[in-house]
Amino acid sequence: MTATVTMRQIAERAGVSIGTVSNVINETAIVRPKLRERVIEAIRSMGYQPSALAQGLRRNRTNMLGMVIPDITNPFFPGVVRGVEDVAYKRSFRVILCNADNDPSKEASYVRELRSYHIAGLLIIPAAGADIAGHLRAYASASVPVVCIDRVPDGWKGDAVLVANAEGAYLATRHLIQMGHTRLAVITGPLKLTNAAERLKGFTRALNEARIEIGPEFVQEARFDTESGYQAALRLLRMLPRPTAIFACNDLMAFGVLQAARELSLRCPEDLSIAGFDSLEFTKFTDPSLTSVYQPGYQLGATAARLLLQRVDGMRFAAKKVLLPTELQKRNSVGPPNAIVPEGVGRIKVRERSDLARRKQQV
């Protein structure tokens, strides 16, 4: 019955005009209390549900927020979405979620189409290689606010909520160095993405401070997924000499490194130390548990949603760039280098060398 009830039927049941019913539903004019009560009683008894889309079209804005994410299968992003949704729901806003599949053309299509839904605002985590700054500026020109999350496209000067990517990568790399590693490698995400580029900067800063130089082959670019991390790790671990530690710039790629190490019969952390970035919930349960940089996904989404709704409410202030902190969470995948592996020479365990030194002292 909900789908078939019209304002005309409500008017007939209540004994009022259609205009009176419209004024009660849309709060466009003051209606006498007795008439208002009759209309509300008719609405309740007939199960009438007003069209949110129709109301939004009349106001030229719905209570819907658009959100575009690059990869729904990446376990980091659901936490971000949850943060957005929780804040939006408390304010009676609803979220339209679009998955771009890391496809810039699909992402651009979603961004264009969401405008036709008369959304109140847009939240977006841009895909790699996306050229959408122009589309986002078109939103701003139409007075529809936009907030970028986690990364920003080239040319975007508007609101953004990010994390301290460079600092987090620096902390992870410094930890590897402090454990005694000097042959370090990094597997980055797509360097067109601002967060991937920032993490590489943090890695490089830690090396420079320690005066450690590595060859360009020890910097491998991947796609922020397990398979590309696995393939990059195979390339690194087949080198002579190979790295004794790998910093993977997200946890999915770190899982690929763990897989490659197992296939090559390398023990972690005895033969290879591994650090990741994200500190996903199940990094505690890998074997060994994964040392990783924690970035607050839920807080990213919640902070971005609050910022967007401030704009929706009409608050005016200069474009904001909010930077949330990261934190290194040390687990069992990082240890001191357990081997000296010169080119063409087999593994010599540090423990065995220490035993030999003690025997010499005894003699």
Alpha carbon 346 to its chain centroid, in Å, reads 42
The gap between the terminal CA atoms of the chain, to the nearest Å, is 97
Rounded to whole angstroms, the Cα distance separating 252 from 262 reads 16
Rounded to whole angstroms, the Cα distance separating 79 from 81 reads 5
Q: What is the pLDDT of residues 210-246, one digit of tens each?
A: 999 999 999 999 999 999 999 999 999 999 999 999 9
Rounded to whole angstroms, the Cα distance separating 239 from 184 reads 12
Give the mean pLDDT of the chain: 88
Q: Is the confidence at residue 350, as pLDDT, over 70?
A: no
* Residue 23 pLDDT grade (very low, low, confident, very high; cuts 50, 70, 90): confident
Give the helix/strand (H/E) hosting 78: helix 77-90
* Residue 341 pLDDT grade (very low, low, confident, very high; cuts 50, 70, 90): very low
* Residue 21 pLDDT grade (very low, low, confident, very high; cuts 50, 70, 90): confident
Q: What is the pLDDT of residues 251-284, one digit of tens each?
A: 999 999 999 999 999 999 999 999 999 999 999 9
pLDDT of res. 6 = 81
Domains and CATH numbers, the chain: 7-50 (1.10.260.40), 60-163+297-325 (3.40.50.2300), 165-294+328-349 (3.40.50.2300)
**DSSP 8-state symbol, 258:** H
Model pTM? 0.79
Rounded to whole angstroms, the Cα distance separating 187 from 237 reads 12
Distances (CA, A) of 315 to 107, 119, 234, 303, 312: 28, 17, 51, 16, 7
pLDDT of res. 109 = 93
Report the share of the chain in percent with pLDDT over 90: 69
pLDDT of res. 357 = 38
* Residue 196 pLDDT grade (very low, low, confident, very high; cuts 50, 70, 90): very high
Q: What is the pLDDT of residues 45-75, one digit of tens each?
A: 887 766 555 555 455 568 999 999 999 999 9
- Residue 99 or residue 40, greater confidence: 99
Rounded to whole angstroms, the Cα distance separating 49 from 344 reads 76
Rounded to whole angstroms, the Cα distance separating 49 from 76 reads 37
- Residue 156 or residue 231, greater confidence: 231
- Residue 131 or residue 153, greater confidence: 153
- Residue 301 or residue 11, greater confidence: 301
Paired strand residues for 329: 292
